[in-house]
Amino acid sequence: MAKVIFFVHGRSFKPPKAKLKRLWFDAVEAGLDRDFPPSRLAAFKRVKKEFVYYGKISNTFLKKAANKPANFNTDDSASRHITLKQLKAYAADQFTERTYNKLPGKSAAGEALADLFGGVAAFFHVSDPLIEAIAPDMREYWNFESQFGSDVRETLSTPLARALRNGHKVLLLSHSLGTMIAYDTLWKFSYYSEYKDIRNKKVDLLVTLGSPLGDETVKRNLKGAKAPGSRRYPTNIRRWVNVAAEDDYVAHDEKVRNDFKGMLKHDLVESIRDHRIYNLAVRHGKSNPHHGAGYLINPKVTELIANWI
């Protein structure tokens, strides 16, 4: 049985697959090199990895939504490299509140606003327009009249189904919108007839980073949200670890264990754990607590990957 790590990126414009993949793997490798003996870094380089990329699909949609020309350049990898270089300069014991509070442009306003519109306002179903304004690709994902959701899920479902059919041990690591894609794909694997041959095959570890899955509006739009009893949840996750950064407005409801406690009640998952971290990423001179590389290089995420390998 081989081990496979699946990486699923998040929302917004993305650089080409090869460049984003290298940035993500560089972030993980830097964290492993910083915190663990060389054997762990060597093991990561050897392990089979699948980088799930739907950036071409989301870039096309976002260009149209923002009235950008077809040739609009989405390759911001140069600034991402600058951010990663800065992140590599931190020692493991510097990923703290004290360091985070010194970052330029740090603000909790986005998270506070998201708390408001994800809580009371969501009860009155008024947060959908806000999400559409701030994160149109996330809103489009659950637009049932659009092909967008199906197309982006396909980028994960095909290779993940193949890995499970081959009996591989899987770590599924996803960020932002990618966590919704991962969750919905696993729900489909649990109940759709075309996946009945892998219905009883579990992902060994699901890691969600900067996830909106605890948000009330998002929960209403997940696969299975209206199903009764245990059928509401996927049945193919052995362990789930959720990591949320301070002030990350996308993960403003930072805990998922309380939202998905039904999975524990129905014995569908062995454990669900939540961790709060400090994301030290700075983009364009301002703190960006939702940044993917900032999550990947954090000691908590590095530890999760190292221990699983």
What was the pLDDT predicted at 112? 45
* pLDDT of res. 100: 98
Q: Which domain holds residue 199?
A: 3-308
Q: Is 190 exposed, middle or buried (0-12, 13-18, 19+ CB in 10 A)?
A: buried
Find the helix packing angle between 17-35 and 299-308, rounded to 10°.
90
Identify the pLDDT of residue 42.
98
pTM reported for the whole predicted model: 0.92
Q: Output the pLDDT for position 169.
A: 98
For residue 286, the domain's CATH number is 3.40.50
Q: What is the pLDDT of residue 1?
A: 78
**pLDDT tens-digit series, residues 66-88:** 999 999 999 999 999 999 999 99
Find where tokens 């994960």 sit: 156
Q: What is the pLDDT of residue 133?
A: 57
- Could you write out the three-class secondary structure of the chain? CCEEEEEECCCCCCCCHHHHHHHHHHHHHHHHHHHCCHHHHHHHHHCEEEEECCHHHHHHHHHHHCCCCCCCCCCCHHHHHHHHHHHHCCCHHHCCHHHHHCCCCCCCHHHHHHHHHHCHHHHCCCHHHHHHHHCHHHHHHCCCCCCHHHHHHHHHHHHHHHHHHCCCEEEEEEECHHHHHHHHHHHHHHHCHHHHHHCCCCEEEEEEECCCCCCHHHHHCCCCCCCCHHHHCCCCEEEEEEEEECCCHHHCCCCCCCCCHHHHHCCCCCEEEEEEECCCCEECCEECCCCHHHHHCCHHHHHHHHHHC
Give the residue ranges of the chain where pLDDT is below 70.
107-134
pLDDT of residue 123: 35
Looking at the structure of the chain, the number of domains it has is 1
pLDDT given at position 119: 42
